[in-house]
Homo-oligomer: A and B are copies of this chain.
Amino acid sequence: MASSEFKPLDEKSLIEYIKNTPVLSNQIGNKFDELKIKEVGDGNLNFVYIVDSPDGSFVIKQALPYIRCIGESWPMSKERAYFEARTLKEHGRLCPEHVPEVYHFDHTMCLIGMRYLEPPHIILRKGLIGGFEYPYLAEHISDYMAKTLFYTSLLYLTTTEHKRVVAEFCGNVELCRLTEQVVFSDPYRVSQYNHWTSPFLDHDAEAVRENNDLKLEIAELKSKFCERSQALIHGDLHTGSVMVTSSSTQVIDPEFSFYGPMGFDVGAFIGNLILAYFAQDGHSDSTNDRKSYKKWILKMIEDTWNLFYEKFIALWDKHKDGPGEAYLPEIYNNPELRQLVQRKFMTDLFHDTLGFGAAKMIRRIVGVAHVEDFESINEASKRAECERKALEFAKMLLKNRRKFDSINEVVAAM
C-alpha cells in the first residue's frame, strides 16, 4: 500500500495498514486473529510497534514531525525516516550480520517495517547496567564500524559516487542540527534544556560553560562534524543504539546518519563504554562489587579500538587496487609508504575518536539527554560522584586527546 498522505498510526489503524501491505501481512502469514501489537518506543524520537503473531513478527517504526520526548514544541523533520531506512539498507548491505533487515519503507507515512529483534535481545546499555558480559561485542561492533565506514569512504568509493551520496545526505540537515545543538553547543552555554544532578554538579556544569580550552576544542570538533564528509556515519552510535544477546550484535536507529567524520561513530561507542565504566560504582552492592565487570568494560574499550584498527586496515589492504580514489595504487602501493599513510590516517582517526567520544560524554552529564547508566543510580550524591569522575575524564580527554598514542594509554588513564 502506498499511502497518499501522512497520518500518525495507532494500534488500530496499524492493523489496517498491515492488512493493506502484502510484504508485511505475508510476514505474519496473513493471520490477524492472534496478532499482538505493542508500542515500545522508549527512545527519544519515534513511535515503535512490535507486531507479533505465531507465524512471524516484525517491527514498525514511524517518525512523527516532532521530537517525541520533548513533544510538539520541538518540531523535527519526519523526513528522517527516509534517511534511517536508506542507511539501514546501505549499512545492511555492507554488514548484514549486524544490521536488522528492512522489509518495507513507506516514504509518505515515514514508516519502516523491519526485523523484530526477538528476546533475549536487549539494548546494550541495559546489559551494561545489569553487569552482563558479551563475548562477541567488540568483535561484532568493530566489524560493523570497519565495514560501514571503510566502504562508504573515498578509500573505496570514486569521487563521483562519493559526491553523489554526500549531496543526498545533505538533506538530513535537521538531524545534524539537532546533534550540533545538543552535543556541540548546549553544554557550553546556558540552555533551558540542560540539566544535571543538582545541586551536586552545579559548579561542574558552570565550569564547563566557562572553560575556554574546552570551547576551543569543541569548536574544532564541531567544524569537523559540519564540514568533513568522510563516510556515511550512523550518527548516533551510543550503547542505546545497539541490541545484543550473548551471540548477536545488532545496530539500530541510524536516523542521524549523514556524511560526516568517522571518529564521530567510533567515539560515540567508545565514549559510551567509558560512561558505562564510570557508572559501575553506582551499581555495585554487597553481592557484586563490579570490580571484575569494570575490568571487562576496559577490555571492551581496548578490544573495540584495536579490532577496529585491524579490520579497517585489512579492508584497506584488501582493496588497495580497488575503486577508491583517496590513495591511488600507482602512487601509494609501495608497502612501506602504504604503512606510513595508514598509520597517519589511523592516528588522526584515533584522535578524532577520543575528541568526539569525550564530547558525547560531556553532553550526557550536563546536557539535555542523559544516560540510564547514571540515571538508574538512585542516590543522587552517589550518582553525582560517578558523573563527576566521568566528566573530569572527558574534559581531560577532550583537551589532551592528541597526546594519546594508543587505546591502552587511555585505559591506563581511566
Q: Are B160 and A166 in contact (CB under 8 A)?
A: no
Known contacts A176-B163, A337-B212; A330/B229 CB under 8 A: no
**Contacting residues, chain B, for A330 (C-beta < 8 A):** 189-190
**Contacting residues, chain B, for A160 (C-beta < 8 A):** 173-174, 177
**Contacting residues, chain B, for A222 (C-beta < 8 A):** 326
- Say which size band chain A's interface belongs to: 35 or more
Binds B, one of A128-136, A213-221, A238-246: A213-221
Known contacts A170-B166, A215-B337; A154/B227 CB under 8 A: yes
Interface residues in A178-235 (C-beta closer than 8 Å to B): 180, 185, 188-190, 212, 215-216, 219-220, 222-223, 226-230
User: Any chain B CB within 8 A of the CB of A140?
Assistant: no
The listed residue with most B CB atoms (<10 A of its CB), out of A163, A230, A344, is A163
Q: Are A325 and B180 in contact (CB under 8 A)?
A: yes
Q: How far is the CA of A173 from the CA of B336 in the complex (A)?
A: 32
Those 9 A-B pairs whose CB atoms lie nearest each other, nearest first: A167-B170, A163-B170, A167-B167, A189-B330, A163-B173, A189-B331, A212-B337, A188-B331, A227-B228
Q: List 17 A-B contacts (CB under 8 A).
A: A154-B223, A159-B173, A159-B176, A160-B174, A162-B226, A163-B170, A164-B173, A167-B171, A212-B337, A215-B332, A215-B337, A216-B337, A216-B340, A216-B341, A222-B326, A223-B326, A226-B326
Residues on A lying within 8 angstroms of B by beta carbon are 154, 159-160, 162-164, 166-168, 170-171, 173-174, 176-177, 180, 185, 188-190, 212, 215-216, 219-220, 222-223, 226-230, 325-328, 330-332, 336-337, 340-341, 344
